[in-house]
Amino acid sequence: MARYRGTYEHQGNSLRSKFELRLAIQLERAGVKYEYEKWKYEFFTKVSSGLCEDCSGTHVVQRRWYTPDFFLPNDVIIEAKGNLTAGNRAILKAVREAHDTLDLRIVFMANNKINRNSVTRYADWAEQFGFKYAIGEIPKEWYK
C-alpha cells in the first residue's frame, strides 16, 4: 500500500481513506471481485434562490453527479462513510430519489451522532430513510 496525495493506492485503485482501504481488503480476502468508483449517477438538487434563465421559474435545480465507492458483482453498491455530514445526507437522499432501483447500501465507520447536539445516530438516520447499512465492515450476506 502506497499513499499519494491523500489517497491509498491498492490493487490499481486510488482509495480515498483508510476506511475504504480496510473495506477493499475485506472484500479481497473474501474473494469478492469488486469495482471501485466505476459508475457515476446523475441527480439534481434544488437551488435555494434564483430564477431560471429560460423560463423565469423559481424552481431551479442544479445537476450534480454522485460516484459510489464499491460495486459488487451481485449489483450491491456500497458507500463507505466515516463522517456523515448534512451535505452527504442530502446527496444520498437525492440519489435514492433519482435512482430508486439502485441497491445502494452504506457502511459507516462508526455509529456516531449526526452532529454533537443530536441524539440521532448514523444508524437511526439510515433506518429513517430506508438505507441498508452496517457499522465497521461489510456484512458477509451482502456479498455471498
Is 105 part of any domain? yes
The answer to whether position 93 is within a domain reads yes
Please write the tens of the pLDDT for every residue from 35-86.
999 999 999 988 766 666 777 667 778 899 999 999 999 999 999 999 999 9
Neighbour order of strands in the sheet with 13-15: 2-4, 7-10, 13-15
CA angle 71-109-140, nearest 5°? 50
Select the more confidently predicted residue: 60 or 99.
99
Residue 124's nearest CA partner among 136, 116, 112 is 112
The number of folded domains in the chain is 1
**pTM exceeds 0.85:** yes
Contact call for residues 108 and 133 (beta carbons, < 8 A): yes
- 131 within domain boundaries: yes
User: 80 with 17: CB under 8 angstroms?
Assistant: yes
Across the strands, what pairs with 62?
45
Q: What is the CATH number of the domain that holds 116?
A: 3.40.91.30
Residue 107, CA distances (Å) to 20, 51, 63, 75, 126 in order: 10, 38, 26, 16, 10
- In which domain, by residue range, is 115 found? 33-142
